[in-house]
Structure 1
Amino acid sequence: MNHKEKESVFVDLYDLYIEGELEDESMEWMKQHESLFQKNAEDLKSKTCLKRSPGAEEESQIRYMKVYLSSMYICFILLAIWMTVWFYF
């Protein structure tokens, strides 16, 4: 594995490493490479936190679903009104 690959693996596993949720082999690997990549991992994590909050994507999806459902209800009501008027004339 080259240096860039090791760095990206370290960054990907950094949160789990901090929380202590890695297996023994992975923890040992992270400890060995901590001095090399810890600063980069912390910098990357702080930049991604500033860009977008953790629940922003979920909130966006919920908002999209609300708009979609509202538009479907409106279409159904308009179709029901149109069919009622068409039926009686």
Structure 2
Amino acid sequence: CVNRTPRHIYAQVISADGGKVLAQASTLDATLRAGTTGNVEAATKVGALIAERAKAAGVTKVAFDRSGFKYHGRIKALADAARENGLEF
């Protein structure tokens, strides 16, 4: 599940039944907050981080829910980075 605002971008890996968040990453994380948070570069970093955390939780295959946002810009950058770092959509 992905959500974005003008300043931040958020990503979560949720269990199949929707009852538990298995991994999450956002530009609000301390490791990412130091740089700019509302651009494609930040979304790429969030994508890499969510992939890393999902793999640590034992998840490699996910369904990508863009929450109604166009698959363009920051959403696309996040998805591409997550794929490059090992998540399968």
TM range (shorter): under 0.3
Give the TM-score of the pair, scaled to structure 1.
Answer: 0.24
The structure carrying a bigger helix percent of its residues is: 1
Which structure is higher in RCO with an 8 Å CA cutoff and minimum separation 6? 2
TM-score (norm 2): 0.24
The structure carrying a bigger strand percent of its residues is: 2
Return the index of the structure with the highest Cα Rg.
1
